[in-house]
């Protein structure tokens, strides 16, 4: 077992920030999920609100130690997304 794939901040006023999560197994390492920007391709459990906002409150994938490598495996897709530039004359 590695030690860099799990982190907890039990002093956080929101810990654990997902209802029903097991505090003993809850990792805060990816407090803000890096895969959020991938939209439907993130691989997590999410819904969209009526306003079209992605709602990840029922997703625990980034908060489980066993998913650390799965998140890292999706980083190339995030990097590709970040490299996209607007076409000439378009606003970002």
| pLDDT for residue 8 is more than 90 | yes
Question: Which of 10-14, 56-60, 76-80, 83-87 is predicted least confidently?
Answer: 83-87
For residues 40 and 69, the answer to whether their CB atoms sit within 8 Å is: no
What is the residue-wise DSSP string for 14-82? TSS-STT--TTT---TTSS-TTGGGGGGS-S--EE-TTS-EE-TT--GGGSGGGHHHHHHTHHHHHHHH
Reported as a pLDDT band with limits 50, 70 and 90, residue 80 is: very high
Quote the pLDDT of residue 47.
95
Quick: pLDDT tens for 14-61: 999 999 999 999 999 999 999 999 999 999 999 999 999 999 999 999
- 78 vs 88, more confident: 78
Quote the pLDDT of residue 74.
95
Query: What pTM did the predictor assign?
Result: 0.79
């Amino acid at each position: 077992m590695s030690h860099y794939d799990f982190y907890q901040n039990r002093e956080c006023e929101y810990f654990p920030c997902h209802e029903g999560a097991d505090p003993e197994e809850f990792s805060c390492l990816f407090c803000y999920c890096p895969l959020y920007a991938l939209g439907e391709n993130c691989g997590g459990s999410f819904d969209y609100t009526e306003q079209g906002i992605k709602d990840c409150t029922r997703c625990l994938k980034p908060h489980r130690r066993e998913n650390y490598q799965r998140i890292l495996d999706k980083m190339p897709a995030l990097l590709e997304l970040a490299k996209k530039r607007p076409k000439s004359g378009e606003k970002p």
